[in-house]
Structure 1
Amino acid sequence: MSEDVRARRGRGRRGEDRRGRELDPAVEVPDLVARIEESLAVAGDRLEPGLRQRAEDEVGRTGARAALGSAHTVVALAGATGSGKSSLFNAVAGFTISTVGVRRPTTSHPVACVWGTGADPLLDWLQVPSRHRTVHDSELAGGPGSAMTGLVLLDMPDHDSRELAHRADVDRLVDVIDLIVWVVDPQKYADEALHADYLRRLRGHDDVLIVVLNQVDRLGTAEREAVMGDLRRLVREDGLPAATVMATSTVTGEGVAELRTLFADAVASRAMALGRARAALREVASTLRGTVADDEPFVDDVGGDDRLTEALAGAASVPAVVSAVETGYRRDASAYVGWPFTRWVSRLRRDPLRRLGLKDHKLTGELGALARSSVPEPSRAQLARVDLAERQLLDTATQGLPPRWAESVRQAPVRTEDLRDALDQSVVGTDLSFPRPRWWVAVGVLHVVLAAAALLGLLGLLALFALEFLQVPYPDVPTLSGAGIPVPVPTALLVAGLLGGALLALVAGSVVPARARARARVAQARLEAGVAMVARERVLVPVADVLADHRRVRDLLTP
């Protein structure tokens, strides 16, 4: 038994998980199928259509093969015209099944030899014509074949045939059979078409590939060693370092028994189909993994982007609304803390928030969604700043991403026309109402007391003047002595009421601007929070969702 064959029999047929632990193919294959299917669903149209179709086809083939069960192991002999694969097929079977002759190509259809029964559904799926199927039994083989029961051995058409249908059969079967035995001869073992079109396609399928140098009886000892060494080198360069390379001859019988042993091992393990499926799925996963980057930029969809929020706040006329809040506070404050005899002037000015359509919005649900403000439309300059901030964000979010993913990120934000309406809704929906300050009430009550005192004093003086004018005796007027100067009570009430009210208005009025600015800052924070929510919902979250999909696809496809 050759070293390659012994090494092959000693190799495990298990993969490893991310921690290096062995995985049974029966466990790994369903997991690979699930991860690839989920990655295709998550990636969507961000995958190149041709690649997506190939991946779906491979997963479909794997599912179809799995549905046929693992009771049979399909082994196919493939090779070029004149390589002697049909002779080798007959030698392994133990009797003549496939035609051998000088006419080329000899094998025009796949020919099958089946050890055991129940393989018809599998052969139908492989599209092997019924007339080219042979059941191997003890009468034909000359002895029991229990070790090979479950083997389906195929002799495939020549891969270099000038008949396109023959080559199409080879191309189709190479992708679905469980164990491939590629038969080469000393003259054409280095044929570039063989290595470029077939062997290199099988990278990652080392465990399910045997390369056989047939007709070695035609070589001398030195030639044989040189050719075998060169063939091993070429197979390694094809990316198949673990593939078995062995020599056979149907003339001397060399290697035939070893092939039967390998086939019996494959049948006994019942894992060859799963091994081939695992290798094919790993290749698909690796190819799909190449469509995503090793990392993706971070987009803060919680804290938001300051530049974008600032630009959107400008487009939403937040500064104008904040100014209206401050002005409205001053106006409303004067109605309470202003001098009662002049505060009516402030009521002549229209409420700035009401002018913007933002006063006392109580509508919710559908009616609230229909509400509109009267804030100015964003100017071209403001919209340009929004576009610039968004482009800067997208440039950051697409750094290092593959083109299709980068385009998906750029298409994620909601378009500007919808954004305008969302910004207006955020302003309309912001609560700009504030409870009336208690100090307003206290100052207002004090103003009423002082105004009442002034009014009583005035009425008292008017009454005294009327009595004096009519020459009517009037009682003594009570006086207040201050600094030794008696002052009539009506006069004291009038002076105290007027001066006290004016002074109170002056003091309270000096507090109003600071409080108005504080109220404006609170309103600005609320408005910017609403604008930031629009930025998150319409720009940041859609972009972050695409990046999360990218990360999910990478995680699914990373072994």
Structure 2
Amino acid sequence: MNTPSPQPGDELAARVESITAALGTAGNRIPAEVGARARADLDRVTGRLALGVHHTVVALVGGTGSGKSSMFNALSQLDFADVGVIRPTTSQAAACTWGGSAEDLLDFLGVDETRRIGRESALTGLDEEELAGLVLLDLPDHDSIAEGHAGLVDRLLPMIDLLIWVLDPQKYADNVLHEKYLRELTHRHEAMVVVVNQVDTVPESGLDHIRADVRRLLEADRLSDVAIILASAKTGHGVGMVRAELARVIAAESIAARTMRAELDAICERVGGELAPATPALPAADDTAAQLAGASGIPAVADSVRLAVAGVGPSASSRVQPPASSRIEAVREGWLDRVGGALPARWRDALAAAVAGPDAFYSRVSETVTAVPLPPVNDVRARRVRIGGLVLVALGVLAGLVAGLATGVWVWAGSGGGAAVVAGLVCVLVARGMRSRTAKARSGAYLARVHGELARVVAEELDEPARGILADHESVLDATTR
């Protein structure tokens, strides 16, 4: 079973919801004026979404006598007078809708309820599915109420997907049309079509001249890429081409959806200006722990443990002293720079406020390094092996002395004393190696334990509080960049 594709309205509504939630998440970490403007813009988009974005609004615009209303009837294939619903006039806008109600939209557009008709409501089936979603407007004649019509066009323009200018073949060069309308709408050139109507009243030999002359005028209006259709609402000539243009526009995303998408993009761009391009990652806690250990003198203490254990005589390792607060603060500040350096000031301040403060962090680090007990410096096994070796050496030497006294010659290598001396020396060397290995192991274990405890401090005092701020930043960034 195929899952239906999300509709533009659903997609935009979800995006509005996501951005709204992101603004709540960001809170005062974005400037108040940026948040206020974004919320106002979102309210406007929400209001427009309520009207629906699946409608394609097409407006027929023209002057008195252009046959605009006849073209309206030809496109809708309805004679309003015959169905007894409405009859287009030159003073008020009229509308015909295809494929469902658009009452809220028509209310917003200011189309009187008596000037509306639903295409399918007057028929016995949905026979024009390619035009489903179309809202066709017949606007008042621009030359009969020019002043009022200008205001109407201005109000409706942001909602109109296609402007169809219906021209009289005798009056297409009208100055009012070109100077007050067409030249003022060059920014909408991609959403315009010019229909020269009533060509049935013109000799066929003159059609090419009319087309060429209209093209010349449009080029002067900086509308050279606007399509020109020669048509007759009376005979039906060219009406199919106009309907094909309607179908083409309907197949594309509506201007309402494009406009709202652009507005949401603009909101995201402004909010995104208060964010870092990417959410920074936390440095490894072990790295920070190593810095704290160094600032606390732990490597020197661990080295003293190694020397003490490896030594032969009685010795003691260095005591752990409370670290200098300035060195611990320097590590904390370095961590904040690494994590928050790329963040805007408000986010950086929020990060600094969320993690442990200088005093609390110093106290925790100081307590941690002094609480880890130092390992013992005596290696009992190595000591026993060494003592045993020394005893063997002593016994071997004594055996040699006894043999020398008995023979009068100092010869002990073959008396058994020599073997004892050698064995004793081997034991002494073995004990030395044992002490060395034990020294490294205890020193390393002590250093690892302190590092582990400090890593836990970093995780609890810095990383965990920071994760909330960074997660918020990532959430807002995600909502404003997708």
Once the two structures are TM-superposed, the CA of residue 59 in structure 1 deviates from its matched residue by 6.0
Query: CA distance change for structure 1 residues 551 and 416 in 2, over 3 Å: closer, same or farther?
Result: closer
Distance in structure 2 (CA, Å) of the matches to 1:246 and 1:255: 18
SS of aligned partner of 1:378: helix
Aligned twin of 2:352: 414
**2:48 pairs with 21, 42, 61, which one?**
61
3-state DSSP of counterpart to 2:351: coil
Q: 2:215 aligns with which of 190, 208, 228?
A: 228
Q: Match of 2:296, as an amino acid?
A: P
Query: Which residue is equivalent to 1:483?
Result: 401
Distance across 1 between alignment mates of 2:20 and 2:243 = 38
Q: 1:391 to 1:281 in 2, by over 3 A?
A: same
Partner of 2:228: 246
* Aligned equivalents of 1:274, 1:422: Cα separation in 2: 56
Alignment of 1:137-156 (within 5 A): 152-156=135-139
Structure 1 residue 414 displacement after superposition: 2.8
Distance 1:215 1:53, change over 3 A: farther
The reply on whether 1:111 has 2:94 as its aligned counterpart is yes
2:12 paired residue number: 33
The alpha-carbon deviation at position 216 of structure 1 amounts to 9.2
Cα distance in structure 2, aligned partners of 1:441 and 1:276 = 87
- Structure-1 separation of matches of 2:36 and 2:222: 32
Instruction: State the shift of 1:88 in Å.
Output: 0.9
Q: Which letter maps to 2:381?
A: A
Q: Give the TM-score, by structure 1 length.
A: 0.50
* Cα distance in structure 1, aligned partners of 2:239 and 2:265: 31
Aligned position for 2:194: 212
Label 1:230 to 1:177 Cα distance change in 2 as closer, same or farther (>3 A): closer
Question: What residue is the counterpart of 1:301 in the other structure?
Answer: 282
In the alignment, structure 1 residue 88 sits paired with structure 2 residue 68: yes
Deviation at 1:279, TM superposition (A): 3.9
1:526 is aligned, of 427, 449, 452, to 452
Do the aligned partners of residues 262 and 426 (structure 1) sit closer, same or farther apart at CA in structure 2, a change above 3 Å counting? farther
Are the aligned partners of 1:74 and 1:178 in contact in 2 as well (CA < 8 Å)?
yes
The structure-2 alpha-carbon separation of the partners of 1:446 and 1:253, relative to structure 1 and needing over 3 Å to count, comes to closer
TM-score, length basis structure 2: 0.55
Specify the alignment match of 1:369 in structure 2.
none
Counterpart AA for 1:89: S
Q: Quick one: which of 378, 383, 402 aligns to 2:326?
A: 378
- Among 73, 88, 112, the residue aligned to 1:129: 112
Residues 390, 247 of structure 1: alpha-carbon distance in 2 compared, 3 angstrom cutoff: same
Give the 3 Å change call, closer, same or farther, for CA 387–135 of structure 1 in structure 2.
closer
| C-alpha distance after superposition, 1:442-489 (max 9, x if no partner) | 35778999xxx9xxxxxxxxxxxxxxxxxxxxxxxxxx9983599xxx
Q: Following superposition of structure 1 onto structure 2, how do residues 47-446 of structure 1 map, counting pairs within 5 Å?
A: 50=37, 53-54=40-41, 57-58=44-45, 61-62=48-49, 64-65=51-52, 74-78=57-61, 83-84=63-64, 88-93=68-73, 97-100=87-90, 106-107=91-92, 110-113=93-96, 120=103, 123-124=106-107, 126-133=109-116, 152-156=135-139, 170-176=153-159, 179-181=162-164, 186=173, 187-188=175-176, 190-191=178-179, 200=187, 206=190, 209-212=191-194, 225-229=212-216, 231=218, 245-247=227-229, 258-259=238-239, 262-263=242-243, 266=246, 271=250, 275-276=254-255, 279-280=258-259, 283-284=262-263, 287=266, 296=277, 299-301=280-282, 303=284, 309=288, 313=291, 318-323=295-300, 339=314, 352-353=319-320, 356=322, 376-378=324-326, 383=329, 387=333, 390-391=336-337, 397=342, 406=344, 410-411=348-349, 413-415=351-353, 418-420=356-358, 421-422=360-361, 424-425=363-364, 428=367, 433=372, 440-442=379-381
Task: Note closer, same or farther for the CA distance 1:114–1:223 as it changes in structure 2 (3 Å cut).
Answer: closer
- Deviation of the 1:130 alpha carbon: 2.5
Q: CA deviation at 1:211?
A: 2.7
Deviation digits for residues 466-513 of structure 1, max 9, x if unmatched? xxxxxxxxxxxxxx9983599xxxxxxxxxxxxxxxx99x97999698
Distance 1:425 1:146, change over 3 A: same
Any conservation in 2 of the 1:212–1:245 contact (CA below 8 Å)?
yes
Q: Secondary structure at the match of 1:153?
A: strand
Note the C-alpha offset of 1:431.
10
Structure 1 residue 290: Cα displacement: 5.8
One-letter code of the match for 1:212?
V
Deviation at 1:154, TM superposition (A): 2.3
Runs of 5+ unmatched residues, structure 1: 1-23, 101-105, 357-374, 399-405, 454-479, 487-502
1:65 CA drift (Å): 1.6
Q: Distance in 2 between matches of 1:234 and 1:51?
A: 37
Q: What amino acid does structure 2 have at the position aligned with 1:442?
A: R
Distance in 1 separating the partners of 2:282 and 2:121: 72
Counterpart contact for 2:22–2:475, Cα < 8 Å: no
How far 1:112 moved relative to its partner? 3.1
Deviation at 1:181, TM superposition (A): 3.1
**Conserved? CA contact 1:25–1:275, under 8 Å:** no
Aligned length: 410
- SS class of match (1:414): helix
Q: Report if the CA contact (8 A) 1:214-1:247 is conserved.
A: yes
